[in-house]
Amino acid sequence: MQLALSRRRIIDGEDAKGQPVPINFIPNDPLAMQFAPMRRTAPRPNRPASKAGFQFFGASPQGAFQPGTPEFLFWQCREAALISINVWEQLHASLASWSVEAVNPKKLKLVQDGGDDLNAFYDREHLAFFHHKTGTLTTFSGASTDVVAHEAGHAFLDLLRPELFVSNLTEQGAFHEAFGDCIAILVALFDSKIRTALLGVTPDLGAANFVEGTAEDLSDAVRLELGAGHPAAKPRRALNTFQFQLPTSLPTSGPPDRLTSEIHSFGRLFSGCFYDTVRNIFNGAPGTKNEAALLRAAKTAGKLLVKGAAQAPLAVRYFQSVGRAMVLADAATSGGVNRTAIGQAFAGHGVQLGSSSALLPKAGLAGSPPKAGKPAGALGRATLKDIRERLRASPGARFSVTPIALGSVRASEVLHHRAVPLGGLSAKLKGVVALAPEAVVVGGSGRAAAVFSAMPDRSTTADEVATFVRTLLAHHRIDFGEAKPPKLASLPTHRIITKRGKKILIRTRFLCGR
């Protein structure tokens, strides 16, 4: 889509005493101001040239502007985006670059108002936000720190695991959405005033609240415009009781309170696991349950989430894979202090971890173990040939080998993409394939190579891809090149390209709307 962009330089401001001119800032969401009211604050400085940051549009002189004005929206969106980076750098490392797949790895375009829609998106070039008027009410998605942090979360995960952006498996796409929600929750929990207000609402974090519920204002606008039955008509809640089901067994769409195979809906399973991990760490820690203790719990859970996302093997059951990686990361960094907190949180949503089994070889392979110190955790030809035959991969299939850590165990992830035909799902997809990742974790058992993961099953891969694409079709998310503009909150996320003579379905963006 064509975004409405206006370029003006930022004008920094100081008052007569040489102090920075404050801005008005909503630290959570416009509909959560009862608990996290708008505040006046000095805006954060621009990112240094040596680090990754944003390109801004429609800049205005610095000042305390009122919500609903373009000037307020610029400073609000900018501040929320820079705060999100600050939180990320406390969880991971200094942000020197965006994803290697980003159009400009040094700067993403931050577009606070790209036109009329009830949406927001990340597409490896922009963090883009919109406005929409319903009656006398105009909703700006970029005015919500929740929404801005969520989209920034997509960009952070794309830095860690760019392969997830292009995955055509429901659970991996749903993790991308859940990760955005987790970042939004963490941005809130890193704010001392919000932590104090939250504990005043729910001292043990066990009651519904304005932190675990995200994007309230945008959801309410969807309800008013598109009806209460629309999937996005209520905030996504991380405090939930959803139980894991196979995506293939779920409906493609449903009202907000129903779990479906759509990735925003399905992602609530993982955000529930994460929020319950924060709760368990907070409530299980010794000492006073105050805002400082809550920050410690949030930092602990957040760092484990990031390590888990970075190290998790690319399995079909990706929620379980990340949960196991979180437990193994905790064992490596703290001796397993939080193992029970994590395990119980995931089990509470029907995701059983059994993470110690990830350290056990499952079957022998031809050849030697991954060679320590060699490039990319190199494997011998005999091992790769054995894996290719077991996966029944096509003769021309390409394999990549990446070193990974399973806690303290060093291994290699062998990855290829299976081409799944889509013609049976729609006449419009005749001759089109979707590429699905199939990964095998290879370690050593004595002097022999061994499989440390479940071997991918091509029938399961095909079924999972079919469910994912069927859901895209149900939500009109594939751009077939039709002239008519998309309906409100219905931007496409995928399109069809031709590569080496093959028609391939690819992702172009992650949307906030469902």
Instruction: Give the pLDDT confidence score for residue 376 in this predicted structure.
Output: 47
Give whole-number Cα distances, 184 to 79, 181, 217, 439, in Å.
14, 5, 14, 30
Residue 439 contacts residue 415 (beta carbons within 8 Å): yes
At residue 93, the pLDDT reads 96
Length reported for the chain: 514
pLDDT computed for residue 8 by the predictor:
52
Confidence of residue 486 (pLDDT cuts 50, 70, 90): low
Pairing outcome for strands 510-511 and 400-406: unpaired
Mean model confidence pLDDT for the chain:
94
The answer on pLDDT for 371 being more than 60 is yes
pLDDT of residue 309: 98
* Three-class secondary structure of residue 484 per DSSP: coil
Compute, in degrees rounded to 10, the torsion defined by CA atoms 148, 154, 156, 157: 160
pLDDT at 4 (0 to 100): 66
49 pLDDT more than 60: yes
Q: Is residue 81 predicted with pLDDT exceeding 70?
A: yes
Domains of the chain: 23-353 (1.10.390.10), 360-455 (no CATH)
Residue 6: per-residue pLDDT: 61
- For residue range 259-313, list pLDDT tens digits in order: 999 999 999 999 999 999 999 999 999 999 999 999 999 999 999 999 999 999 9
DSSP 205-258: S-S--TTTEE-HHHHHHHHHHH-TTSTTSS-EESS-------GGGS-S---TTS
Percent of the chain topping pLDDT 70: 94
Two structure tokens written together for 87: 């939180």
**pLDDT above 60 for 107:** yes
What average pLDDT does the segment 428-446 reach? 96
How do the residues of the chain divide into helix, strand and coil, expressed in percent and rounded to 5? 40, 20, 45
CA 191 to chain centre: 21
Contacts with 54 (C-beta within 8 Å, 6 or more apart), sequence order: 47, 78, 81, 82, 107, 108, 109, 110, 127
Which pLDDT value is given to residue 100? 98
pLDDT at 63: 97
Would the pLDDT of 18 be above 80? no
N-term to C-term CA, the chain: 17
Strand, helix or coil for residue 138? strand
pLDDT tier at 372 (50, 70, 90 boundaries)? low
Q: Is the pLDDT of residue 400 over 80?
A: yes
pLDDT at 171 over 90: yes
Task: Say yes or no to pLDDT of 504 above 50.
Answer: yes
Q: What is the pLDDT of residue 1?
A: 62
- Give the three-state DSSP class for 512: coil
Q: Indicate if the pLDDT at residue 324 is higher than 80.
A: yes
Give the C-alpha distances (Å, rounded to integers) separating 435 from 72, 299, 324, 357: 43, 36, 25, 29
pLDDT band at 355 (very low <50, low <70, confident <90, very high): low
Task: Indicate if the alpha-carbon torsion angle 220, 221, 226, 230 is positive or negative.
Answer: negative
At how many degrees (to 10) do helices 339-347 and 318-334 cross?
A: 170
Residues 6 or more apart from 246 whose CB is under 8 A from it? Answer: none
Contact 174, 266 (CB under 8 A): yes
**Cα–Cα distance list, 173 to 166, 377, 506 (Å):** 9, 27, 13
Instruction: Check residue 181 and give its pLDDT.
Output: 99
pLDDT in tens, 152-169: 999 999 999 999 999 999
- Residue 484's pLDDT is what? 67
CB half-sphere exposure, 492, CA atoms < 13 A:
19
pTM of the full structure? 0.95
pLDDT higher than threshold 50 for residue 345: yes
Count Cα atoms within 13 angstroms, Cβ side, for 306.
19
